[in-house]
Amino acid sequence: MRTGTFNLPLHGGKAPGWLFEKMKRLARQIVLVIIEENGTDELIERISDPYWFQAFGCILGFDWHSSGVTTTVCGALKEALRGISSYTGIYVAGGKGGTSRKTPSEIEAASEKEGNDFSRLVYASKIVAKVDSSALQDGYQLYHHTFIFSRDGKKWCVVQQGMNSDTRYARRYHWLSSRITDYVVEPHNAICCDTKNDVLNLVALDSSPARKVITEITHQKPEQLLRDMARICEHADNKMIMPRRHDINFSDIEKNRLAKIFQSTYEQKPPDFEKLISMPGVGPKTVRSLALISELIYSTPYSIKDPARFSFAHGGKDGIPYPVDKINYDKSIEVLSNALKESKIGRTEKMEAFKKLALFY
Residue 243 binned pLDDT confidence (cut-offs 50, 70, 90): very low
pLDDT of residue 339: 59
Residue 7, classed as helix, strand or coil, is strand
pLDDT of residue 253: 61
Q: Which residue has the higher pLDDT, 262 or 325?
A: 262
User: Angle 17-38/40-48 helices, nearest 10 degrees?
Assistant: 130
**Which amino acid belongs to residue 257?**
R
Residue 162 binned pLDDT confidence (cut-offs 50, 70, 90): confident
Is pLDDT at 13 greater than 60 in this prediction? no
| Contact in structure between 113 and 145 (CB atoms under 8 Å) | no
* Cα–Cα distance for residue pair 100/328, rounded to 1 Å: 31
Residue 244 binned pLDDT confidence (cut-offs 50, 70, 90): very low
Q: Which residue has the higher pLDDT, 304 or 18?
A: 304
Q: Which residue has the higher pLDDT, 91 or 239?
A: 91
For β-strands 136-137 and 200-201, DSSP reports them as antiparallel
pLDDT of residue 167: 80
Average pLDDT in the 237-257 region? 52
Share of the chain above pLDDT 90, in %: 43
pLDDT of residue 316: 45
Is pLDDT at 211 greater than 70 in this prediction? yes
pLDDT of residue 72: 87
The closest alpha carbon to 289, from 361, 183, 217, belongs to 217
Burial of 43 (0-12, 13-18, 19+ CB in 10 A): buried
* 146 DSSP assignment: E
- Quote the mean pLDDT of the chain: 80
pLDDT of residue 245: 43
Phi and psi for 140 in degrees, rounded to 5? -115, 120
Is pLDDT at 190 greater than 70 in this prediction? no
Average pLDDT in the 51-61 region? 81
| Contact in structure between 276 and 219 (CB atoms under 8 Å) | no
| Contact in structure between 36 and 89 (CB atoms under 8 Å) | no
Average pLDDT in the 191-217 region? 85
Average pLDDT in the 243-268 region? 70
Q: What is the pLDDT of residues 283-334, one digit of tens each?
A: 998 998 899 889 888 889 899 888 765 544 455 444 544 555 667 656 655 6
Is pLDDT at 240 greater than 50 in this prediction? no
* Cα–Cα distance for residue pair 69/59, rounded to 1 Å: 11
Q: Which residue has the higher pLDDT, 92 or 358?
A: 92
| Contact in structure between 324 and 318 (CB atoms under 8 Å) | no
Average pLDDT in the 244-248 region? 45
